[in-house]
A and B are shown apart, each in its own frame.
Chain A
Amino acid sequence: MNTIFFKLNGKEVSTKSDANKPLLWVLRDEFNLMGTKYGCGIGQCGACTVHLNGNAVRSCLLPISQLQGEEITTIEGLSAKGDHVVQKAWKEVDVPQCGYCQAGQIMTASAFLKQNPDPTIDEINNAMHGNICRCAAYHRIRKAVMLAAKK
C-alpha cells in the first residue's frame, strides 16, 4: 500500500487508501468531504464531479493511485465563502430542487466557464449534458450558467 500525496482544496494531503479506491469514496470516507456525491458510480451522472488540475472529472472513476502529485478541487474548495461566480449565479437563479446533483453541476459549469468564458447556448447544453438532474432543474441550470458567464 503506497502513500499517495496530492493537493486537495489547496492543501497538501496524503492517503494510504487501497490503490483502486475511487477518489469519490476517499473524499467522503477519509476527508469527510460530503459535498461530492455518489449517483451512479459508472461515470454516467456527474454527481461526483470534481476538478483535477482545473478540469472537470468524474471522481467515481478515478482510482486514488492515479493522483500522485495532482491537484484536486471539490465543491468545498471552489471558493472560501461560497462566493464563486457560479455559486452566486446558482443562488440568484434559485437552481436547486432536491439539490443532490448540484455540487456536480456547479463543478462541471465552473471548469467549463474557465475554458470558455463566453459560451453559446449550444455549448452550454453540450458541456452540461453529462450531468443528470433527476428533478429536471435543467432550465435553471442553463440560466445560471448563462448568468455566471455574463459576470
Chain B
Amino acid sequence: MMQKKVEMDFSRRDFLRTSSLVGGGMLIGFNFFTACKPEATMPVDLASLDYNDFNAFIKISDEGMVTIFSPNPEIGQGIKTAIPMIIAEELDVPWQHVNVVQGALDTKNYVRQSAGGSRAIRLGWSSFRETGALAKQILINAAAKRWGIDPVHCTAKQGEIINNRGEVLNYGQVVNEAALLEQERTKKEENDKNAIAKRPVLKNPKDFTIIGKAVTNVDVDKIVTGKPLYGIDFVSPGMVYASVLRPPAFGKVLKSFDDEEAKKMSGVIDVIRIGEKTQKIIEGLEIPNVLLTKGVLNKSDKVVVIAKSIWEAMNAKKRIKAVWVDDTPSESTEDHDEILLKLLSGSKFETRRKDGDIQEAFKNADKILERTYESPFLPHNCMEPMNFYADVTDSKVHLVGPTQTPGWAADLVAQLLNRDLKEIELQITRAGGGFGRRLFGDYVLEAAEISDKIRRPVKMISSREDDMLTGTYRPAIKYRFKASIKDGEITGYHIKEAAINGTMHPTIPHFFPAGAIENYQVDVAYYQSNISTGQWRAPHTNFLAFADQNFFDELAEILEKDPVEMRLNMLKRAAKNTDETIKYSAERLKGTIDLVVEKSDYYTTKKGVYKGLAAYYCHNTYVSEVVELTMEGSVPKVKKVYVAVDCGIVVNPLGAKNQIEGGVIDGIGHSMYADFGFKNGVPLNSNFDSYRLIRMKEAPEVETYFVENNFNPSGLGEPSLPPAGAAVGIALKKAIGNRTMKQPLIGHIPANKLTDRQDS
C-alpha cells in the first residue's frame, strides 16, 4: 500500500459540519452546493451556520444505523431512493441499515433542490458520492485514532472499519469520537487559510455493491398501506380548508361577486377575495412576463371559500355568483391553428442553428419534401391535484406541500408577503405526480395569500376541475419540416417551430440530426397568448420527436432506404463532425439503435404486427424504441414496446425501469388520446370523463434494455417519453397506409383509413 498520508486529509470546511447528537450518534451536514464547486466559498461565516444551512445530512446512530436526508422533491421519479443509494454506496453501509427521510427546503442554499429536466442525478452524481466518501473517511480517521495507527492502514466496508492487524470496529462504535474529532479539526482548519481542498477517494464503479442493484422504492411500505405521505394528507390543529374560484376563461378578470348563498352553506367560515398582493407584484413587472405566461401570477383577483372541510368549501364555491369582465381578448383553438400556421409560412423567425446554406440546397434539389406536424395543448393532470398548506403568523410563514421548485416558491412567497426569506419555512411532501406542473408555484402563492389574510393555518385544495381548467398547460406547437434530396442523399434540412408562448430550449437545435446534414437550419417563432403554459414532461421534445422521427421515416420511404440504415449512415457522418456545439454522441445513439434492433428482432416480420422504430436523444440520455402495433378492427393498439437506453451507469435498475416504462406508456397515451383545446378562452375539458388518459387495456407490455458502460449517469424522468409517440406514429403509418401528422392520433386518422391493410 503506497498511499500517502495526505490523501486522508481533506478540506471539508467548505461543505461539511459535524456534531455529536444528544443521546449518542453523529450528524454530518453536507452542503451539496459547495460540494459541487470546490472553488466556491461559503456565503457566510462558518461558525454562525447551523444545520439548517446544509441541504443534506447523514445521521449515524450508536448502533451504526444510518439516516440519510434526501434533498430533492420526490414526484414519482424515484429520486428519494436513488440519491441515498449513491451516498450509501460511498459511505459503504449495507442498504438495510439505511433509513431515508425527505429533507426540508434550505432557503439559503437551495441550489438545484428541485425536480425537473431529469437533472438531479446527472448534476449531483459526484457530489453525492463525495458526500458519502467523506463521511466514511471521517469514521476511518476516528477508528485509526482509537487504534493509534495511521488511517492508511484502515479500510472500511459494509459499515465496518478493518485495520491491517485484522481488528474490526463498526461505524456505530466510533461515531461519537468521529464527531468530536471532526469538530476539533473544523475549528483548526478555519484558522488555517492555506488548507488545500482535496477530494476524497471514490470507489471504482466495479466495486459498487448498492449502485446497479435493484432497490425497491423507499416509501413503498407506506404507499401500499395508505400512510399520509402527500400534501393533500397533511393536517395541523386548527387548520381550515380553502377552495378557490378562479376565472372561468383565460382573458377574464373578476369584477364583483355575491356570496350570500355560499355563506349560508354548512361548514362555511368565510368568503374572501384575494389578489391584492399579487397585483402589487404584477404592477412592478414588465408585461408580458414569465410569471404571467406560466400562470404563477394571475391578473385576476380570486374568490376563496374558507370552510371546515374541503368538501364543504368546494360545495359552497358552486353557489358564488361572480361577475367576470374581459381583460384581454379571449382565444380559441381555431385562432391558434390559424396563427401558428401563419407564423410557419411567414418570415419572423429567430434562427437557432445554421449550417451551410439550406436555400442553396433546396435550389439544387432533385426532390423536396415538406410536412407540417401539429400538437394540441395538454394539461398535466397530476393525480394529486394542486394543493398547499400555509400558516402565516407574525413570526414566520410555514408552508407544507408538493412542489418541484421549493426554493422558487419560497422566494415568491417572501416577495408576495413582503417577508424575509429567513422567515419562510417550507416542508416538502411526496408529490402525487409532477410532470412539470409543480414547477409553477401559483397554488403555493394562493395558499400563502389566503393564510396571510385570514391569519389561520389553511389548506388550499383544487378540485380536478379547478386543476384542469386553470392549468399551466403544455403549449400547442406546430412544426414544419423541409428536406432536399440530391443524388439519393439528404442535402438540406430545415426545421421551423411555431409555438404558443415560447420557443424550444436552446440546446435542442443541436440534437440529432444536427451535424449529420451539410445544410441544416432551425428557426423558431412564437405567439404570445393569454393562456398560461409551461414545461410539461420533456418540454418541446415530447412532440418534436414525433415530427422529427416521422419525417425521417417518410424521407427513407422516398429514398427507398431502410429507415434504420438511413439513420445509421447519418450517424456515421455525425460521428466525424468535430463541431463542438453538437450536443450528442453519435456512437451512443447508434448503440441504442443496435441494441433495440437486436432485442426486438426488428427485421423479422409477423403477420398483423406493424413495427415502428424511433431513436432519440434528449436530456442527456439516448433512447431507441420499437413499437409493435396491431389493428383490432378499426382500433390501433400498441401491443409491445422494446426500449434500449443509454443513461450511463444505472443507479437503480428497478427504479430506472419504472421511469422508462412509465414514460413510454405516458408518451403513447398522450400522443394517441389526449386532446385539449379552448373556445373563447374556456378549456374544453374539465375532468376524466371527457379528457382521455391511457388506461390499463391500452397499456402495452414494455421491455427495457440498458447499454452497459461507465459513463456518469444521466436522468430518466423524461427521455423515454418523446420517442414513444414517434414510434407509434411510424407503426400506424404502416398499418393504415397513411401518415397521421396531427396529435392526438386517434381522432386525426381519416375514417376511411381505419382498416388493417393486411385484412383489406
A interface vs B, CB < 8 Å?
A: 18, 21-22, 25, 29, 32-42, 44-45, 47, 74-76, 78, 82, 87, 90-91, 94, 96-103, 106, 124-126, 128-142
Contact = CB atoms under 8 A, between A and B. Distances in A.
21 contacts: A29-B310, A39-B383, A42-B464, A75-B225, A87-B224, A94-B220, A96-B219, A98-B434, A99-B229, A101-B383, A102-B223, A103-B226, A106-B224, A125-B696, A131-B695, A134-B435, A135-B383, A136-B665, A138-B696, A138-B699, A141-B696
B608 interface: no
Contacts of A96: 76, 217, 219-220, 223-224
A48 to B, nearest CB: 11
A33 B431 CA distance: 18
B564 interface: no
Interface in B644-693: 654-655, 658-659, 661-666, 669, 687-689, 693
B266 interface: yes
A91 B695 CA distance: 21
Contacts of B434: 98
A100 B266 contact: no
Interface of B: 75-78, 214, 216-217, 219-221, 223-230, 232-233, 235, 266, 309-311, 381-385, 430-435, 461, 463-464, 654-655, 658-659, 661-666, 669, 687-689, 693-697, 699-702
Shortest 3 CB-CB contacts between residues of A and residues of B: A35-B226, A98-B76, A100-B432
Contact of B432 (A40, A94, A99, A136): A99
Contacts of A34: 226-228, 230, 232-233
Nearest to A97: B76
Given A98-B76, A99-B76, A35 B696 contact: no
Given A82-B221, A139-B665, A139-B702, A41 B381 contact: no
Contacts of B235: 32
Contacts of A129: 695-697
Given A35-B225, A41-B463, 12 more contacts: A34-B233, A39-B688, A41-B464, A82-B225, A87-B225, A96-B217, A99-B223, A101-B383, A103-B223, A129-B696, A132-B383, A138-B695
Given A47-B383, A102-B223, A18 B266 contact: yes
Given A40-B688, A106-B224, A137-B658, A98 B463 contact: no
A137 B431 CA distance: 16
A94 to B, nearest CB: 5
Given A94-B217, A101-B383, A140-B661, A135 B225 contact: no
Contacts of B696: 124-125, 128-129, 131, 138, 141-142
Contacts of A139: 661, 665, 699-702
Contacts of A124: 696
A124 B662 CA distance: 19
Nearest to B663: A136
Nearest to A18: B266
Contact of A98 (B431, B661, B663): B431
Contact of B385 (A38, A94, A131): A38
B384 A98 contact: yes
A44 B230 CA distance: 21
A148 to B, nearest CB: 12
A25 B310 contact: yes
A100 B384 contact: yes
B224 A98 contact: no
A91 B221 contact: yes
B655 A82 contact: no
B225 A98 contact: no
Nearest to B223: A99
Contacts of B228: 34-35
A37 to B, nearest CB: 7
A142 B226 contact: no
A22 B309 CA distance: 12
Contact of A136 (B225, B463, B666): B666
B221 to A, nearest CB: 6
A8 B159 CA distance: 45
A100 B226 contact: no
Contacts of A29: 309-311
A48 B688 CA distance: 14
B224 A91 contact: yes
A91 B232 contact: no
A44 B688 CA distance: 6
A100 B433 contact: yes
A39 B467 CA distance: 11
A131 to B, nearest CB: 7
B659 A97 contact: yes
Contacts of A40: 464, 687-688
B548 to A, nearest CB: 23
Interface core residue of B226, B228, B266, B654 (most chain A CB under 10 Å): B226
A9 B75 CA distance: 30
Contacts of A136: 661-666, 669, 694, 699
A136 B701 CA distance: 12
A99 B662 CA distance: 12
Nearest to A26: B311
Contacts of B225: 35, 75-76, 78, 82, 87
A97 B227 CA distance: 15
Nearest to A133: B383
A134 B233 contact: no
B311 A33 contact: no
B74 to A, nearest CB: 8
Nearest to A103: B226
A17 B76 CA distance: 35
A97 B230 CA distance: 13
